[in-house]
Structure formats: C-alpha cells, structure tokens
Amino acid sequence: MTLVLSRVGRGSLVQVTIRLGRALRKGEYRVKVYQLLVNDPEPCKFLLDAVFAKGMTVRQSKEELLPQLREQCGLDLSIDRFRLRKKTWKNPGTIFLDYHIYEEDINISSNWEVFLEALNEPEKMKSLSQLAVLTRRWRPSCMKLEPFQEIVLESSSVEELKEKLHAISEIPIENIEFAKGRGTFPCDISVLEIHQDLDWNPKVSTLNVWPLYICDDGAVIFYRDKSEAQMEMSEEQRNGLLKKESSRLQKSGHRVNYSPRKEKALKIYLDGGPIKDSSQD
C-alpha cells in the first residue's frame, strides 16, 4: 500500500510518499535494488526496496522480485534474463549465481544494496572461477569510444582476454592493446586524454597482478588497435571537441585538462630589454 501526502508551503508543493510494509522477521533484511544500465548516461537507477532472507537462494530472491518489478517499475523480465550482483557505491561487482545462498555464500546486512542487470541473452556466468569484465573499444581514428560489451573469461590470463577481444572486434591479436579504467564506474575519461593518459599494454601475463589487480567481476577494460592512427584535428576541431567533452564529463566530476602543446610564457619588457643582474658578472 502506498500513501501520498501533498502540502503547499510558501508557494511550493511538497510531496511525501509513504509505503507501508510488514515488519522484518528474524533473518530478514531490507535490500535496496538498483538497475545497472551500463551504456546509459545515468547507469545507476533506483528501482525498489525488497526483502531477502537468510537461507534464501539467489534464484528464490529473483522469483520474488519478478512481480514487484512488473507492478512497481513496469519491468517485465524473465527469471533467466536478469542477474543480481554486488553494488559498491556506483561500482558493479561480483555476479551472484542462482544457486548461491544468502548468509552462506553471500554476506548480507541491513540496508544492503544490490544491482539488477537485465540480460539480452541467457546468463554466461556459471561458476566463481569465471571472470566477467566490461570492455570498451577506443577508436583513435575517429576519436570515439564504442559502447560497453561484457566478456566472460574462464581464467585471468591476458592471452584469453586478447582472444575474446579479437572475437568481438576482429582486431588481430598481435595488435590489441588494453588498459584498465580508472575511478568509479563507468570510468569516464575524455577522448582527448585516453590515448596518452591510460597505462596501455601493461607487461603482465595475468589480470590479477600489479598494476591491474583485476580479481572481481565488473572491472572496466579499454582496448584499441595499435595500428590505428590517431585522428589529426585542426585547432577549431580540437577546441570544439574540448567543449563537447567538458560538457559531457561535467556530471561525473571529471575535469578535462587537455593541452595539445606547451607554450612559453610571453614576456614584455617596458625598457626595451631584460635587466642584467650585475651579481652574475
């Protein structure tokens, strides 16, 4: 049951929504469910409050969510076409498998938060030995980032990562370079900075070592074709792109500090030339 109260005060309308629900029983937890939309400008969207219980499997919690999602959010999903996963602030993390049990395989607490992610195909994650990463291709020839694509790895090997990147991009394996994204998801970065500022092609054979430390699902990996030349731009094009990128990244708090070349400061001498310091004689 939902009760909506409205009040007009000092010329403004104040609306308070009160949702009535039952008291939690022992072993139950109220959980905030957010939708993860990896390719949306706002990738984190609150959906609803749910109740998960100790001993419940992930699949059981998904079954209970389905009617609530339809009624409260207008989301008509099938149980095999969405997943739940760990949420750490804005970052997507571990994908919860259907057979996992809350409080046995997954720690749960009061005011817990999870991501719900709709899938376009059946779930590929079947075991904890797999690793799901979010990849995004950088196209320097047109100064564009392509949409996110998830790939599921059977191991943490760089060799397998490059094989999977080749499969979705057709870039020759020997030409693939990659870099880990920085900051919180979606790891926004200006297209004027990405080509030089990321740590491309780290000299490692596995993803779970320094400087990557990719040990959990949800890491962002940018990749490119090293044979693809960067687009040459006029000063007018560069300034226009800088303005566009500054506007795009303003919401995420990322500052664009692009400087195409360093220039010497202009010095103006009012007496016709510099004053020589006699102490240097």
Q: What is the pLDDT of residues 214-272, one digit of tens each?
A: 999 999 999 999 999 999 999 999 999 999 899 888 865 555 554 444 444 444 545 55
Averaged over 28-55, what is the pLDDT?
A: 96
pLDDT at 79 over 80: yes
The amino acid sitting at 123 is: E
**Contact by Cβ (8 Å): 142, 128:** no
- Rounded CA-CA distance 127/111 in Å is 27
Query: Would you say 95 and 125 are in contact if contact means Cβ atoms under 8 Å apart?
Result: yes
Indicate the Cα dihedral angle 124, 127, 131, 132, nearest 10°. Answer: 30
Kindly tell me if the per-residue pLDDT of 281 is higher than 60.
Answer: no
Q: List the CATH code of the domain at 131-225.
A: 3.10.20.90
pLDDT digits (tens, 9 = 90+) for 9-34: 555 565 655 555 678 999 999 999 99
205 SS3 class: coil
Q: DSSP assignment of 106-135, as one string? A: B---TTEEEEEEE-SSS----STT-EEEEE
Q: Sign of the C-alpha dihedral, residues 242, 37, 182, 124?
A: negative
Element (DSSP H or E) covering residue 204: none
DSSP alpha helix (H) spans, the chain: 58-68, 158-169, 194-197, 235-249
- Which amino acid makes up residue 31? V
Q: Taking the domains of the chain in order of start, what are their residue ranges? A: 19-118, 131-225
Strand (E) or helix (H) holding 225: strand 220-225
Write out the two tokens for 167.
């499969």
The span from the CA of 91 to the CA of 77, in Å, is 23
Rg (CA), the chain: 25
pLDDT at 250: 80
Residue given tokens 């072993």 in the structure block: 27
Count CA within 13 A, CB hemisphere, residue 95. Answer: 25
Taking alpha carbons only, the member of 102, 114, 94 closest to residue 49 is 114
pTM passes above 0.85: no
pLDDT at 275 over 60: no
Dihedral angle over CA of 167, 172, 177, 181, nearest 10: -20
CATH no., domain 19-118: 3.10.20.90
pLDDT of 87-137, one tens digit each? 999 999 999 999 999 999 999 988 899 999 999 999 999 999 999 999 999
Half-sphere exposure of 121 (CA within 13 A, CB side): 5
